[in-house]
Structure 1
Amino acid sequence: MHSRITNVVSHESVNGLHFGCSETHLQEVLGEPDQAQQNYTGEVEFLYGDEIYRCLNDQLVECTIPDTGRFKVDGIAVLSIFDWLAGHDDMVEKAKFRICASVGIAYDFRDPSNGSITIFTRGRWDALLDQSAPGTTDSTTG
């Protein structure tokens, strides 16, 4: 588990690593990944411990990290990302994700004891969100 605070700037960066940076820059900053592979959608996933960085067309588009409970979003300390997302008017729950496009954060709660947070660039999850109205829960969230 991480002891550092994860700093997020909505739609822009995670811990100072900017969306849109190249795969080469990602590796210059973070070092050699534990594993790198192309997924079924054509994205390249770089695994660094328990963090996954995804690139599409040689640009960083999202990152998934465990919920450590230590986050700052746009300079504001957030005690519970899961609860904080619920306070946004555009929050949607879909397929066991709590998604908020306005801040570029999705919370994966498929495993309640081990949640993870995906931080993404603007527009990244729009196709999924276009299928839901804000504040709604679909039948797959159980």
Structure 2
Amino acid sequence: MGQQLDDELKIYKRIEGTPQKYPGRKYVRSLLGFFDVSGPEDKHRCLVHPPLWESVLDFLFRNPVQRLPTPILAVILHRLFLALDYLHTEYIKADNIMFGSSDDSVSSDFENNEPQNPCPRKELNGRTIYTSRDLRMPKDLRAPVLCDLARP
């Protein structure tokens, strides 16, 4: 079974364990349950959610002018902001928002510096554990990316 699906299941279980007090919690898709199905080659995990209709994109294409009517857009945005507020309050924090970069020289500098100035490490139960090294500022920064939601 796929790691991505296992991670998604962990996130749903974490959400399920949070207090109901947040108004935006009900605007994040919930999980009713899950089960495994054995196929000829492998097992497949199935997540069970409350039924939904269609995506905003599909709804947009259904509309002849391909625009959302103002009242519908207002409801979508209001509920989306409530959902984001809930996620921000419970899960989003500064250390799981990371910047991207296309500056490969940061990695090259790290690789070239490592043989002369290795980062601290220790051996524990036959595994080598390395300390993180501070990297220099890249020449360009890309948009921030939300990550590590599956971690507490």
Both proteins in one fold, TM over 0.5: no
Structure ranking higher in strand proportion: 1
Identify the TM-score tier after normalising by the shorter chain: under 0.3
